[in-house]
């Protein structure tokens, strides 16, 4: 991979990391409300996967969607403004943290009923096939969605009808506080669930952005050319709590386990690699850090200075006239 590409991936991951850290601060200050799920620790999956797509491909996400949206190139100002509930937000303040949508970038949204967006992703793929297009639909979801009926019905339909969807399961081990082995019968390799429907499946280290980029690149190519779904499990870990409402480890996992996982921090892994392979200097890393800090600072300033939606907007966008 070329140096510039690596720098781009690193910058994207760092942007998501710093954006999420500032989001936590803004949440603590009461600028952001509601349920808010941060993806710190899972940046490599978002960045590596989205990097393998074309601009005309589609992306679906669940409620932990900030990273996916930023990776797709959405303006951090408008993402932060959405979290602030401001009229300048991507969805004019009506969606919030869990429902980011950027239709222009074919980021089809974050959905907050676990498993409920998988059929939608298959439906967009159905439309692609119906029209004879060659776009791919990338659908992110957590391992918590794997045992849901929505997931199994969708896998069956996608396999049955040869739909161009890449099901990307972000296995961060926990569905809120319940570990995968207490939720999924075939937990040691959740991709086996897809195999039951004749869907080709693979597994990748979700902390290694280059491995993710490579695996998703191959999977996307296969989906596009063969017009068949693919199921990829990215093994990752969430460094913070399930949402802003709970601590990093709580009762369901130990601090030691979290600390152990942090040794494979995806941002640090790539940084170390770039430095050791002399693909970047300390000065480069420092410059990127400053650039990202500037973007995030401006995003917060933009959000904070933006007006709240007028009350007259409340009943707008319910129906298309």
Partner 1 sequence: MKATYREALNQALREEMRRDDRVFLIGEDVAYYQGAFKVSKGFLEEFGSRRVVDTPITELGFTGLAIGAAMAGLRPVVEVMTFNFAILAMDQIVNNAAKIRYMSGGQLSVPIVIRGPGSAAHQLAAQHSQSLEAWFCHVPGLKVVAPATPHDAKGLIKSAIRDENPVIFIEAQLLYPMQGEIGDGDYTIPLGVAEVKRPGTDVTLIAYSKMLLVALEAAEKLAQEGIQAEVVDPRTLRPLDLTTLAASAKKTGKVVVVEEGWPFAGLGAQIAESLYRQVFDYLDGPIVRVTGRDAPMPYARDLEDAAIPDADQVVAAAHQVLYRT
Applying CB under 8 A, which part among 32-40, 90-98, 243-251, 268-276 lies near partner 1? Answer: 90-98
Applying CB under 8 A, which part among 10-18, 47-55, 102-110, 290-298 lies near partner 1? Answer: 102-110
In the complex, minimum distance from the CB of residue 304 to partner 1, in angstroms, rounded to a whole number: 20
With respect to partner 1, which residue has the nearer C-beta, 68 or 173?
Answer: 68
27-86 binders of partner 1 (CB under 8 A)? 58
With respect to partner 1, which residue has the nearer C-beta, 35 or 286?
Answer: 35
With respect to partner 1, which residue has the nearer C-beta, 102 or 205?
Answer: 102
114-133 binders of partner 1 (CB under 8 A)? 116-128, 130
In the complex, minimum distance from the CB of residue 186 to partner 1, in angstroms, rounded to a whole number: 20
- For partner 1, which residue of 25, 277, 301, 316 counts as binding (CB under 8 A)? 316
Applying CB under 8 A, which part among 65-73, 105-113, 238-246, 268-276 lies near partner 1? Answer: 105-113
- Please, what sign has the CA dihedral across residues 266, 271, 272, 274? positive
Q: Which residue has the tokens 């130990």?
A: 254
Please report whether residue 113 would count as binding partner 1 according to CB under 8 A: yes
In the complex, minimum distance from the CB of residue 202 to partner 1, in angstroms, rounded to a whole number: 24
- For partner 1, which residue of 76, 85, 89, 142 counts as binding (CB under 8 A)? 89
Please report whether residue 95 would count as binding partner 1 according to CB under 8 A: yes
With respect to partner 1, which residue has the nearer C-beta, 138 or 215?
Answer: 138
The site for partner 1 (CB under 8 A) is made up of: 58, 89-95, 99, 101-103, 108-109, 111, 113, 116-128, 130, 149-150, 153-154, 156-157, 160, 316-321
């Amino acid at each position: 991979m070329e140096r510039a590409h690596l720098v781009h991936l690193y910058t994207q991951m760092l942007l998501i990391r710093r954006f999420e850290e500032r989001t936590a601060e803004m949440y603590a200050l009461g600028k952001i409300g509601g349920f808010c799920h941060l993806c710190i620790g899972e940046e490599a999956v978002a960045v590596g996967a989205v990097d393998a797509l074309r601009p005309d491909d589609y992306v679906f996400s669940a409620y932990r969607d900030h990273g996916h949206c930023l990776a797709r190139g959405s303006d951090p100002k408008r993402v932060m403004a959405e979290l602030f509930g401001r009229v300048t937000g991507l969805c004019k303040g009506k969606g919030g943290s869990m429902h980011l949508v950027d239709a222009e970038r074919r980021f089809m949204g974050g959905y907050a009923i676990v498993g409920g967006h998988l059929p939608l992703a298959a439906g967009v793929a159905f439309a692609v096939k119906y029209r004879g297009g060659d776009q791919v639909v990338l659908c992110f979801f957590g391992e918590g969605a794997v045992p849901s009926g929505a997931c199994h019905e969708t896998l069956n339909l996608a396999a049955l009808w040869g739909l161009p969807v890449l099901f990307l399961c972000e296995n961060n081990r926990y569905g809120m506080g319940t570990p995968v082995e207490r939720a999924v019968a075939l937990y040691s390799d959740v991709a086996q669930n897809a195999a039951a429907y004749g869907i080709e499946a693979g597994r990748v280290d979700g902390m290694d952005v280059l491995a993710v980029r490579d695996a998703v690149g191959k999977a996307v190519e296969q989906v596009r050319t063969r017009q068949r779904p693919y199921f990829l499990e990215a093994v990752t870990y969430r460094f913070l709590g399930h949402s802003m409402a709970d601590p990093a480890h709580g009762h369901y996992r130990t601090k030691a386990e979290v600390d152990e996982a942090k040794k494979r921090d995806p941002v640090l892994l790539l940084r170390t690699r770039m430095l050791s392979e002399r693909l970047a200097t300390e000065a480069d890393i420092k410059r990127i850090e400053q650039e990202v800090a500037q973007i995030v600072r401006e995003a917060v300033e933009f959000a904070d200075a933006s007006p709240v939606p007028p009350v007259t907007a409340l009943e707008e966008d319910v129906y298309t006239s």
